[in-house]
Amino acid sequence: MDKNLKAMLEKRNALVNEMETVIDVVETETRSFEEAELSRLSELKAEITSLDGTINQIKELRSLSKAEKENDFGGQKMDAKEMNKEMEIRGIEQYLRGRDGEERRALADATTVGNTTEGTGGNGGITVPTSVYDTIIEQMTEVSPVFAAARKFGSVTGNLKVAREDGLNDEGFIGETLDASKIKPILKTVTLTQKRVGAAIQLTNQLINDSGVDIVSYANGRLTRSAAKAIERGILIGAKSGEDVANTFKPIIGSAGVVNIDLVAATGPTVEELLDIYAAINPAYLDGAMFVVSRKVFNAILKLKDGDGSYLVFRDIVAGKPGYTLFGVPVHVSAVLKDQAARKELVFGNFKEAYGMLVKKDMNIVTVTADTAQALAGGRLAVLDTYMDGAVINPEAVVTAALDDGL
């Protein structure tokens, strides 16, 4: 307890004791109160009343201060940042459920979607708060190791020019009077623009109206997985069927300067071919490299053995999670590589060195309700969109391989 509050309580108790002593004396002597006693009792009462008011104010303020440090669910201590995040999550929940609330109104409205904005009964949107945005990006990196490994550049206004390194010719000895530019690296530039990346899920009315469902976690989880898949596909293979190449990332597969190895065996890469792929990137980039393969290619290499009969692929702990390694580097099984029909692709490289991304710190969630499709479906469509772009910035740090589909 605060020392000052304790002192005030002790003083109040002393005043109460003095008051009771005066009353006891009058009762014992069976007489009326004298004028001096009445005056003192009045002083004591006023002082006790004043102390009670101060004590109650202190307790109330202490209670409010404590409430700022504790949430409403179990009394876990929270700082102001965590409290703010909880309020933002409640605001998103109110928005997804189509309900009004103080937390919802506190969120910034997103830019106009079509001809309507949030609150008009049409297709409205909200800007995802920074704390929730950071959580979504973190979840995307967990879903896609490829996105996690890529080099990310923060938000800028407009486009961003990034140096593309086409060689490691930046070393050597020079004399005092010689031109240092003779050993400068061969550099070009890559322009990263703002490409819209989106994901959408259907929320049924039953799901929306069921208060027992954590709708924010559900929506974030599904939207994050879908968006991460789109981003990984953009990094590896670019546009899918029906998409405009101009609106997607510049992918690794097919990028100018990136070495591609055609594999001979249609049933999957051989040990020798995997060793050729491993040796194809500059040794300076092996630390931090990763194999990215389709499920069919993974199943094929999973069965390969060395000359001693030991399997090449090991079950291991990768980035703190159970995973697989080949030649000591992680293996990521990518769901997007299965989209390749006639040929199966394999990518190996150091993605942090090889691939650069512009990641805008701006993300919106839009719900679509005012259209015929949603009315017939009995729910609403939730759409997550953000702006990114990506391109190869160092082709020497990555290599691709392909085999005819015989798997």
d(CA 212, CA 208): 10
* Vertex 378: Cα angle to 377 and 379 (nearest 5): 100
- Tell me 179's DSSP state: -
d(CA 83, CA 379): 31
d(CA 162, CA 164): 6
Backbone φ and ψ for 119, nearest 5 degrees, come out as 100, -5
DSSP 3-state of 256:
coil
Q: What does the DSSP assignment read for 193-227?
A: --EEEEEEEEEEHHHHH-TTS-HHHHHHHHHHHHH
* Residues 100, 106, 110, 112, CA torsion sign: positive
Question: Structural domain boundaries of the chain?
Answer: 3-66, 106-263+348-407
d(CA 190, CA 252): 13
- Tell me 388's DSSP state: E
pLDDT in tens, the chain (407 residues): 566 777 888 888 888 888 888 888 888 888 888 888 888 888 988 998 888 888 888 877 776 665 555 555 455 555 667 777 888 888 888 888 888 887 887 775 554 333 333 433 345 678 888 888 888 888 899 999 999 999 998 766 678 888 777 655 555 555 565 555 555 555 578 888 888 998 988 888 888 888 788 888 888 889 999 999 999 999 999 888 788 888 899 999 989 899 998 887 667 788 999 999 999 998 999 999 999 998 888 988 999 998 888 899 988 877 677 889 999 999 999 988 864 555 668 999 999 999 999 998 778 888 876 565 655 566 788 888 889 999 999 999 999 998 765 55
Short-list 250, 251, 247, 246, CA closest to 236: 251
Domain at 106-263+348-407: CATH code = 3.30.2400.10
Tokens of 39: 């005056």
403 CB-near residues (< 8 Å, 6+ apart): 262, 263, 264, 265, 266, 268, 269, 297, 343, 344, 346
Tokens of 170: 């930046």
Backbone φ and ψ for 100, nearest 5 degrees, come out as -90, 155
- Tell me 285's DSSP state: G
d(CA 377, CA 51): 64
Please tell me the predicted confidence (pLDDT) of residue 252: 94
Please tell me the predicted confidence (pLDDT) of residue 111: 41
Please tell me the predicted confidence (pLDDT) of residue 167: 59
Please tell me the predicted confidence (pLDDT) of residue 399: 94
pTM: 0.71
> How buried is 374 (Cβ within 10 angstroms: 0-12 exposed, 13-18 middle, 19+ buried)?
middle
Beta strands 379-392 and 195-204, pairing class: antiparallel
Are 89 and 73 spatial neighbours (Cβ–Cβ below 8 Å)? no
Tokens of 181: 């530019």
174 CB-near residues (< 8 Å, 6+ apart): 180, 182, 183
Q: How many CB atoms are closer than 10 A to CB 46?
A: 11
Q: How many CB atoms are closer than 10 A to CB 162?
A: 17
Q: Alpha carbon of 115 to those of 46, 71, 379: distances in Å?
A: 65, 39, 21
d(CA 91, CA 330): 39
268 CB-near residues (< 8 Å, 6+ apart): 296, 297, 300, 301, 403, 407
